[in-house]
Amino acid sequence: MNKLDTSHPDYIKGFQEGYMITMHLPEISDWMARKKDSGLKYAGFLHGRLEYLMEKVQDLVIKQDAWEWDDDE
């Protein structure tokens, strides 16, 4: 099993692009995520995309918890 080199410039560039494209152009990000590639930049793109999506879900959960907390009063 190969270990992913997350410090490689191609991986970092892909991560940053994946994060930003998912934030601003989610439809294009979805399309790009279906592409089949095995390069470091693509792996970084997928991980950056996943990071943004996980942060978005976390924000929604926090807002949901705050909303439910306000309902208890």
Model confidence over 5-34: pLDDT tens digits?
999 999 999 999 999 999 999 999 999 999
Q: What is the pTM of this model?
A: 0.83
Instruction: Give first-to-last CA distance, the chain, whole Å.
Output: 53
Q: Angle 58-64-65 (CA atoms, 0-180°, nearest 5)?
A: 90
Closest of 34, 29, 36, 37 to residue 56, by C-alpha: 29
Query: 18 exposed, middle or buried (CB, 10 Å; 0-12, 13-18, 19+)?
Result: buried
Predicted local distance difference test score (pLDDT) of residue 26: 97
Q: How far apart are CA 72 and CA 55, in angstroms?
A: 26
Domain boundary assignment for the chain = 9-71
Q: How far apart are CA 65 and CA 21, in angstroms?
A: 28
The residue-averaged pLDDT of 1-5 equals 77
